[in-house]
Structure formats: structure tokens, C-alpha cells
Copies of this chain bind each other. A is one copy, B any other.
């Protein structure tokens, strides 16, 4: 089984820029994270963009849908900023691709010591192997279907729609 991971950026891949004191993107950490997890699953990593999801426009999400459609693989993971992850999930759901697509991200950059990134990656890569075709979000150790999930911005976790 091959899984393709599409990287779109988000907090997951942010880095601290010591010259400006701000957070920015450099290379994705996905390969390093897969090595750390000693992942023996056949994973193809493809960077689509490196963007904060608050800056995503319709064209960005369309690019994600197109990439998912064109991929040879039927099991896909997408790393994504958590702020508009639900929106991208819904756009993908509407595309009715006959694939298992799992979006995940992180509340704290992987570059930080206290990141949830590695936990979420392990989670998403596992859900994508067992869930039936459909679009899901994997966060906080759980999975949600694209039509029944929202980000609780007060607490910073994902939940079913209230």
C-alpha cells in the first residue's frame, strides 16, 4: 500500500526565523518526521504549497483537490493549517473523489519541543490505511468526517459540530 502525503504548510511546518523573530516556512519536516517514526509504510511526500491556512484562497483549495484527483494513490494524507482545515475538507468532500483522504495538522510547530505534530502524523497515517473512501480530519487522537467537524477556537481542539 502506498500513501501519498500532500504538504500545504500550516503550523505543522512553521519555523522560528531568528533574524526577524517571526515564524515562517523553510523546508517541510515531513521526511524527518517519517524517519523519526521509523515509518516503513511506503509514503510519497509531495509539497503543494507552504502557506498559513488563513491565507488560503479558493485557488489554493482547488489546487489541493486537483492534486488529490490526479494522484495515482487512493489513500492520501494532507498536512494543513488548522484554521481553515474544515473548509478544505468540505471542498474535497464535494469533489466526490473515490479516495480515503485524511487531513491533519498541528497546534504547535513540529520545530518546537512540545509539538503534537508527530502524534497527529502517526494518527493520520493510520486512519488513512483503515478508513473507507471519504474525507476526514484527524486531530486530537480522533477522526471526524468532513461534514461533521469544526475547530473550537476557544480551546484549540476539533469537535463534532455542536
Complex Cα distance, B17 from A11, in Å, reads 11
Confirm or deny: A162 has a beta carbon within 8 angstroms of a beta carbon on chain B: no
Interface pair A40/B157, CB less than 8 Å apart: yes
The complex is assembled from copies of this chain, and their number is 4
The chain B residue sitting closest to A34, CB to CB, is B141
For chain A residues 121-158, which have a beta carbon within 8 Å of chain B?
Answer: 121-127, 129-131, 138-143, 153-154, 156-158
Complex Cα distance, B16 from A127, in Å, reads 28
Interface pair A118/B113, CB less than 8 Å apart: no
The number of chain A residues touching the other chain, given as a range, is: 35 or more
- The distance from the CB of A52 to the nearest CB of chain B, in whole angstroms, is 8
Contact of A126 among B52, B109, B143 (CB under 8 A): B143
Residues of A within 8 A of B (CB): 11, 16, 18-19, 21, 23, 33-34, 36-41, 43, 52, 83, 107-109, 111-116, 118-127, 129-131, 138-143, 153-154, 156-159
Q: 6 nearest interchain CB pairs?
A: A37-B119, A122-B122, A39-B141, A126-B126, A122-B123, A119-B122
29 contacts between A and B (CB under 8 A): A11-B18, A11-B21, A16-B109, A16-B112, A18-B108, A18-B156, A19-B153, A19-B154, A19-B156, A21-B52, A21-B83, A37-B119, A38-B116, A38-B119, A39-B119, A40-B140, A40-B142, A40-B157, A40-B159, A112-B112, A112-B113, A113-B113, A118-B118, A120-B122, A122-B126, A123-B125, A126-B141, A129-B142, A130-B143
